[in-house]
Amino acid sequence: MRFARSLVLSLSCILVLALAAVAVSAATNPLPLPAKPPLGERWFGIFLGSERTGFAHQSIVQKDGGFDISVEGSVKMVVMGFSREASSRERYFVGPDLSLRSFEVEQVLDGTPMRLAGEATPKGIKVVVESGGSKKEKFLAAKGPVYPPAAMNILPLLKKTAAGKRLRVQMLDVEAAKLKAVTVTVLGYETLPDGTRALHLRNDLFPLVDNDIWVDAAGNTVRESVRDGLVETVAEDGESVRRFIADAALSRRDLVFDFSLVRVEPPIAKPALLTRLVMELDGIPPAMPLIQGGGQSARRTAGTTVVFTIEPLKAEMASDTEAVLRSFTEESDRLPAKHPDIIARSREAVGEETDPRKRVEKLVQWVAAAVEDTVTDAPSPLDTLALRKGNCQSHARLYASLARAAGIPTRFVSGLVYLEGKGFLYHSWAESFVNGKWLQVDPTFGQVPVDATHVKLVEGEGPDDLAAIAGVVGKIKARVLEAK
């Protein structure tokens, strides 16, 4: 257990140390030394062997008197039979020398949430720890500067540590809420398999296990390896990682479950019976369109704060033109409404029913009963139809295809839904145009209409439509104003 724990210690170790984008000089291959860490944002994938097990995102912004370093990410790993899950949102304000000034950390380690906040003093670090409903204050005595985990790779550069030399510093261990001595060794420059010239660093963060880092000449972390590549953190382009996050959040995969979960206090009682919900969400980007209709209204009250009112039973009459409605009966790349198998299954599920509302109910109930709910998104509705299993996206795409095949204008929507005893999770469902109104339906839960905990954030089934979800995952905070 001790060995497995050292391999997958926490995001504050595996993630954060890999995220500090740096470059250091070596006597054998000198480079101009930047006077500050590289600014901007970077994305990383985390892999156990060849399997993606998580992601991380880092942002460095220069501010008066220092730098603001933010790190967030999520990971789930199983090593030697031991499971380790962690999600983290960490923010550090550091001085020009990267020494810690103040910090805020939110972590969920193996399902247990913990919050830390604190600031540096001349004699050490003041820390407030919140966990298990209790709050404790600690003072970590220190001689000299203390650095956050996110600075470990950057320090050798700023301190001009030469190849073959070691740098020993005091680091704030945010999981254990204590100070830890860490040694970083500069091994020198190497040429990576893709031809990149990179500087090789190594630290002793993990007992008896090497933690190797490579940074390129521009100061960007290229790769981090724990125990000879058993666990690797690899720099990736932002678009591919954001798409992965959106898909994982909507699929409710374990590796982003805690990261994507939006908690509310007090919990909502009997969410499936809720007919009206008024909720304030903070973290909605100003440029993100607010989805209206189907019994939902949304109004922005501040830059990133939006108040949503959801009453699915009171959906208003829609004013969509015939051309717009007709577009929602057409086939698309992800909704094969004209495929013979989809048409045949739609006719079989609807039967001789002619009432529009009852036709929708029959299709929703058929999908809910016929398709097993899993965390895997089927490649297409045809695969869902054949395999009879898939996640909420699979349910919603199959339903939308069947409904369009039946001539019912239907659109694919995504957002948040409340999971009793947990909080709000990302979810996909659909809206069908019935009797002059957009009726929200959930073919995963078999709801016609949906309960009022369904908060629409985006509309559309394509990758570009769902990419907006990645922009808010892990950033939204919710407050329930009214629930009936």
Token reading at 457: 């954030």
What's the rounded Cα separation, in Å, for the pair 367 and 398? 8
The answer to whether residues 364 and 311 belong to one domain is yes
Asked whether 453 and 424 are in contact (CB, 8 A), the reply is yes
The answer to whether residues 11 and 128 belong to one domain is yes
Cite the beta strand spans of 322-422 per DSSP E: 372-373, 389-390, 410-419
Q: Is 197 helix (H, G, I), strand (E, B) or coil?
A: strand
| Confidence band, pLDDT 50/70/90 cuts, at residue 28 | very low
β-strands 372-373, 178-191: how paired? unpaired
The answer to whether residues 196 and 308 belong to one domain is no
What's the rounded Cα separation, in Å, for the pair 219 and 190? 14
Number of structural domains, the chain?
2
The predicted-structure confidence for 52-110, as pLDDT tens digits, reads as follows: 888 899 999 999 899 999 999 888 865 444 456 788 899 999 999 999 999 999 988 77
pLDDT at 463 over 80: no
Quick one: which H or E segment has residue 170?
Answer: strand 166-173
pLDDT, mean of residues 304-316: 95
The answer to whether residues 232 and 246 belong to one domain is no
| Confidence band, pLDDT 50/70/90 cuts, at residue 9 | very low
The predicted-structure confidence for 242-292, as pLDDT tens digits, reads as follows: 888 888 888 877 767 778 889 898 889 899 999 999 999 999 999 899 999
> Which of 236, 254, 275 corresponds to the end of one domain?
236
More confident residue, 35 or 462: 462
pLDDT at 3 over 50: no
Angle formed by the axes of helices 356-370 and 392-405, nearest 10°: 140
The answer to whether residues 313 and 340 belong to one domain is yes
106-119 burial, b at 16+ Cβ within 10 Å, e below that, comes to: bbbbeeeebebebe
Q: Which CATH number fits the domain that encloses residue 250?
A: 3.10.620.30
Residue 78, pLDDT score: 59
Residue 320, pLDDT score: 92
Residue labelled with tokens 């349910």 = 395
Residue 8, pLDDT score: 33
The answer to whether residues 207 and 318 belong to one domain is no
Half-sphere exposure of residue 258: CA atoms within 13 angstroms, side-chain side = 23
pLDDT at 25 over 70: no
| Confidence band, pLDDT 50/70/90 cuts, at residue 217 | low
The answer to whether residues 125 and 212 belong to one domain is yes
More confident residue, 416 or 36: 416
pLDDT, mean of residues 294-306: 95
> Which of 236, 271, 306 corresponds to the end of one domain?
236
pLDDT at 376 over 60: yes
More confident residue, 2 or 316: 316
What's the rounded Cα separation, in Å, for the pair 42 and 297? 35
pLDDT at 356 over 60: yes
What's the rounded Cα separation, in Å, for the pair 336 and 379? 12
The answer to whether residues 225 and 267 belong to one domain is no
The answer to whether residues 259 and 221 belong to one domain is no
The predicted-structure confidence for 140-173, as pLDDT tens digits, reads as follows: 999 999 999 988 888 887 788 888 899 999 999 8
pLDDT at 36 over 70: yes
* Structural domain boundaries, residue 257: 242-483
Residue 13, pLDDT score: 40
* Global model pTM greater than 0.85: no
Amino acid identity, residue 242? R
Lowest mean pLDDT, pick from 9-18, 84-93, 171-180, 472-481: 9-18
CA 211, 213, 218 angle in degrees (round to 5)? 165
Residue 33, pLDDT score: 56
> Which of 218, 236, 254 corresponds to the end of one domain?
236
Asked whether 39 and 20 are in contact (CB, 8 A), the reply is no
More confident residue, 296 or 233: 296
Instruction: Kindly give, in sequence order, each residue whose CB lies less than 8 Å from that of residue 32, ignoring residues fewer than 6 positions away.
Output: none
Nearest alpha carbon to residue 25 among 188, 169, 203: 188
Residue 144, pLDDT score: 92
pLDDT at 176 over 50: yes
Is the peptide bond prior to 266 cis by the omega test (within 30 degrees of 0)?
yes
The predicted-structure confidence for 326-335, as pLDDT tens digits, reads as follows: 999 999 989 9
